Structure 1
Amino acid sequence: MLNLRKSNPKSAIEELIRVVSKLRNPINGCPWDLKQNHTSLIPYAIEEAYEVCDAIRYGNDSDLIEELGDLLLQVVLHAQIANEEKRFCFDDIAQTAAEKMIRRHPHVFHKKREMKEEEIQHTWEEIKQLEKPMPDTNIPFSQGLIRKVRSQSALTSAIYISKKTSEKGLERHSLEEAWKSVEEDIKSCKNDLSGINNSEGNIGRLLLNIINIGIIKKLNPEEGLLKANKEFLCNLSYIEAKLNNTVASKLQIKNLWKEAKMNNMKDTASVNYLQT
């Protein structure tokens, strides 16, 4: 059972800021923390964000509190580094976020009339454009996408590109055409494996077209891949349990994969393999 504290966010965040300031004290601080800068902390921000996602999917409140705290720690570390260089501080970050939310939610903070969800989304996008206008108002749509996705993973980028292209009315394919493209890409990949070509490009195009099919069907490719990973690991766990550290032939392993697939299709609880 969690020991819930009375809500006093100001004192709690002030304590965290004080702790991080102490860690960064040049005289008696922590050598590791003192070595860090914005760039060196990038991997930790990414790692902590993923661990928050993991706690949401598989953890409990204690896990989520811990992981959200670790992510918040990254924000405070960046604020402390910037404050030492007299650039900005944590208050600037928090105030900027609060002002942005107020600005982007006129239907809440400057309520004049009821707005439908579609209108709210449209207003949100309009305000974003006013906040961060492109340096060149004539910048091509493609260049805007390039700037947006350059910090994202390949999968996240592909999903975003496909969605925004569709919203702009510039879809590359209908569903039928997308399936044909997938079939063509599979052939190209087979040729690659046969030694005719040696390129990652065909695999990339295949993945992009599969993602495009997901977007057309209003499915989330990220969640789909996550479910596929779960299924694979459930099957692997089943096989490991069956083998029990004994040696098996390739044919036996092949048959076990088939057996695992059939077993886990029937047993929806097999996903619990991944929650331990």
Structure 2
Amino acid sequence: MSDKLTVSEHLCSIMRQLRDPENGCPWDSKQTFSSIAPHTIEEAYEVADAIHNGDMHDVKDEVADLLFQVIFYAQLGQEQGHFDFDSIAEHLCEKLIRRHPHVFAEKVELTAEQLDAQWQAIKFQERLSKTPALDTSILANIPSGMAPLKRAQKIQQQCAKVGFDWTELEGVVDKIYEEVDEVLAEVKAVQVDVQAVEEEVGDLLFAAVNLARHTHVDADSALQKATIKFEKRFRLLERHFVDLGRNLADCSVREMEEVWQQVKKQLKT
């Protein structure tokens, strides 16, 4: 890196070179905001996965990949005359100071509830200043592109703030049983309506997210851990039959279930 360039300047210069239509990378040069967005989501998940695995070298590597996404957007914005990396960083500085008056202005101690109320009030004022046709719903600031489990939990959290929520855990659990019955009713119908089945399964998933929220569990994290656990068990089950020289597709459900229970005991010990 040149002594005359800061790290951010060097990074931006590399990005400009990658985007150069003549001397850059063919893949990078043809990307757009829309084509990059799925990669950004994927990189965010890879950061979360690295954190879950606890390998700080991997965390550093994945965070760097996520930063590359930001630099990419900055270059696209600069090319189209909307913004550049410096204006993004400056905008973030202003926002952080504005949203933390208890740190940068009043210097007061607030409870977690007061902090959340202050945060929401400031964000509401920010939205109000952007457009006169403001969506004043308490759900207005929840991105439609958020991961489904997280969005469901966020919507439930917002509704709970105004009292639209179960007051007892029993009601939450009863709702899950109710949704299971409705799924089974659609599945067992004389003429199965696929869309109706999908709708009822969706309601069941939404109810399960609600149970996670009421038990102070992050639904997305819980499902991720459950999936990892299932994958680990299934790989051991596969290995068991491979070692016996057997094709898994030729094994009976009963045989696989017996090994599955053995694997569960093995991992517990």
TM-score normalised by structure 2 residue count: 0.86
**Aligned residue type for 2:109:** E
| Per-residue Cα deviation, 1:109-128 (whole angstroms, up to 9, x for no partner) | 12443333332222222211
**Aligned residue type for 1:175:** L
Long gaps (5+) in structure 1 = 1-7, 268-276
The answer on 1:33 being equivalent to 2:28 is: yes
Aligned partner of residue 123 in structure 1, secondary structure: helix
Hey, what does 1:260 align to over in structure 2? 263
Q: Distance in 1 between matches of 2:141 and 2:120?
A: 16
Report matched runs for 1:169-184 at 5 Å: 169-171=163-165, 174-184=168-178
Aligned partner of residue 83 in structure 2, secondary structure: coil
Hey, what does 1:249 align to over in structure 2? 252
1:59–1:257 distance in 2 versus 1, CA, 3 Å: same
**Aligned residue type for 2:112:** E
Runs of 4+ in structure 1 over 4 Å off: none
Q: Distance in 2 between matches of 1:193 and 1:13?
A: 56
Report matched runs for 1:118-197 at 5 Å: 118-133=113-128, 135-136=132-133, 139=135, 141=137, 144-145=138-139, 148-171=142-165, 174-196=168-190, 197=192
Hey, what does 1:64 align to over in structure 2? 59
| Per-residue Cα deviation, 1:183-217 (whole angstroms, up to 9, x for no partner) | 12112222333244332011011111111122122
TM-score normalised by structure 1 residue count: 0.84
Hey, what does 1:219 align to over in structure 2? 217
Residue 59 of structure 1: how far off its partner (Å)? 4.8
The answer on 1:102 being equivalent to 2:97 is: yes
Residue 173 of structure 1: how far off its partner (Å)? 6.7
Q: Distance in 1 between matches of 2:119 and 2:126?
A: 11
Hey, what does 1:233 align to over in structure 2? 231
Q: Check the 8 A contact 2:18/2:28 in 1, yes or no.
A: yes
Kindly indicate whether structure 1 or structure 2 has the higher relative contact order, using CA contacts under 8 Å at least 6 residues apart: 1
Which moves more between the two structures, 171-180 or 125-134? 171-180
1:175–1:82 distance in 2 versus 1, CA, 3 Å: same
Long gaps (5+) in structure 2 = none
Which moves more between the two structures, 34-43 or 24-33? 24-33
Hey, what does 1:3 align to over in structure 2? none
Q: Percent identity?
A: 32
Q: Distance in 2 between matches of 1:228 and 1:191?
A: 27
